[in-house]
Amino acid sequence: MPRVKKTANARTDSRREPPRKRPSEVVWPTAAQITSLQRDVFRWFASNARDLPWRHDITPYRIWISEIMLQQTQVVTVMDYWRRFLQRFPTVKHLADAPLDDVLKLWEGLGYYRRARQLHAAAKQVVDHHDGEFPTRMDQVLALPGIGRYTAGAILSIATNQPHPILEGNTIRLYSRLLGLASDPTRGPNQKLLWNFAQAIVPQHQPGTFNQGLMEIGGQVCRLAEPRCDQCPVAAKCQARIRGLQDRIPAPREKRVHYQTLVECLALIQRGDRYLCRQSSDGERWAGLWDFVRVDLTELSTDSGEGFEQQDQQLKREVMTEAIRERTGLTTELESCSWSIRHAVTRFRIQLSSVRARKIRGRVKRDSGFQWLTESELRDRAFNVTARKFIDHYFASETS
Ligand code: SF4
């Protein structure tokens, strides 16, 4: 576990100056309050830090992998993935030398596969431009694919003790409450204000421990619903608590995300003991991952968003049969719809059904990318999450 000194001195340079323009409700802490806040965070973290695998034998590479995996994903989910990943790719060079398919396979189930592709591309860049040593200069780290200001700050502060600030989901909430920021913290000017605050409070000494302490307080104590103010080490300095506004700060996002509904159907085309699949190409959704023949039927769905099962059966069959012939070169006969799910991913709401199809005639087009895979290949290769659910469902019901 990280060793923590009992006190830390706040900087006395211009970084502690509050921004001239800021919302009137915001109360900027004094230099003495910042020093006291640092002490509170260090003291709390020394006895409350969770024992996470990447907090041992700290290196930039190990912290980098953990930070990328933790994006949009909970700590408990990440731990096993991180261990398996580090076992298979113990260094940047191991990662860079591995086929992308192997990286995606280890990532399977973690979601947001773009992270894995960028991780792999960045590892190659580290080997090509930095002799396989993860860079320790901010500009060089920011030049790597998939690394933004937060991730770079976290890696460099935790692994190299450079005093870079951090701002992510948990600390956005924590800082907003400490400052009493009442408006949407994701707005541009508020983001700038919060970055300034993060910069003002990060100490020169043990900045990585301090940053981890802040994130841990944000995640474990200053939760979105029912924050544990009675156990909070910085409660005395929290404007939201002082004014009784914990349930109103942070303010909800002003802009609503617009979700897109997709109605799709997977075709399970079987020849003997093999199944027709294709690896998605660069630029396609789920690039690098495998899928079955997937046909978009969104245009056929009604405004009520009804799925495959409710659509006009004859029309649906004609569209599917034609799409399969066009994409694979095979003429098929469809059997009945056997399985359907709803799945939410990023901004998409996918209504997915499946049909089994029997080949009547034709050969798989050479340039289509489709291949016949055995059942064990279906298990070994990296499939997108809905295709994987389908495989699990299909083969479980086959054997039961
Ligand atoms: Fe969050 Fe409550 Fe602590 Fe304020 S006092 S930082 S709202 S947990």
Q: How far is the CA of 73 from the centre of ligand 1 (A)?
A: 23
Name the residue among 400, 15, 42 with its Cα closest to residue 217.
42
* Distance (Å, whole) CA 343 – CA 357: 23
Ligand 1 pocket test, candidate residues 44, 174, 215, 226, most atoms within 8 A of CB: 174
Residue 258 confidence (pLDDT): 77
Q: Is the CB of 227 under 6 A from ligand 1?
A: yes
44 within 8 A of 233, measured Cβ to Cβ:
yes
Give 54 Cα–ligand 1 centroid separation in angstroms: 27
Q: What is the pLDDT of residue 338?
A: 66
Question: Tens digit of pLDDT for each residue in 138-164?
Answer: 999 999 999 999 999 999 999 999 999
For residue 52, report the distance from its CA to the centre of ligand 1, in Å.
24
| Residues 6 or more apart whose Cβ sits within 8 Å of residue 384 | 113, 280, 285, 286, 289, 290, 291
- Residue 239's pLDDT is 97
Task: With residue 159 as reference, give the H or E element that holds it.
Answer: helix 149-160
| Predicted pLDDT of residue 395 | 81
Low-confidence spans in the chain with pLDDT less than 50: 1-14, 302-309
Catalytic residues: 67
pLDDT at 370 (0 to 100)? 95
| CB of 235 closer than 6 angstroms to any ligand 1 atom | yes
Other CB atoms within 10 Å distance of the CB of residue 255: 8
Of the residues 221, 243, 245, which should be mutated to test ligand 1's pocket, given the most ligand atoms within 8 Å of the CB? 221
Contacts of 226 (CB under 8 A, 6+ apart): none
Query: Could you tell me which of 62, 58, 59 has the C-alpha nearest to residue 86?
Result: 62
Q: Is 214 in the pocket of ligand 1 (CB under 6 A)?
A: no
Please indicate, yes or no, whether the overall pTM of this predicted structure exceeds 0.75. no
Ligand 1 proximity of 170 Cβ (cutoff 6 Å): no
* Distance between Cα 235 and ligand 1 center (Å): 5
Asked if residue 241 has its Cβ within 6 Å of ligand 1, the reply is yes
Residue 276's pLDDT is what? Answer: 95
217 lines ligand 1 (CB under 6 A): no
CA of 72 to the centre of ligand 1 (A): 23
* pLDDT score recorded for residue 11: 43
Q: 61-94, pLDDT tens digit by residue?
A: 999 999 999 998 999 999 999 999 999 999 999 9
Pocket test for ligand 1, best of 217, 222, 245 (most atoms within 8 A of CB): 222
The length of the chain, given as a count of residues: 400
Look up residue 325 and give its amino acid: R
Q: Quick one: tokens of 314?
A: 């004859």
Q: Give the DSSP letter of residue 392.
A: H
**Which residue puts its alpha carbon closest to atom 1 of ligand 1?**
222
Ligand 1 within 6 A of CB of 229:
yes
- For the Cβ of 222 lying below 6 angstroms from any atom of ligand 1, the answer is yes
Index of the ligand 1 atom closest to the CA of residue 246:
7
CA 172–ligand 1 middle distance (angstroms): 12
| pLDDT the model gives residue 176 | 98
231 token code pair? 């156990």
CA–CA gap between residue 334 and residue 276 (Å, rounded): 14
How much is the pLDDT for 398? 62
What are the tokens at 169? 């989901």
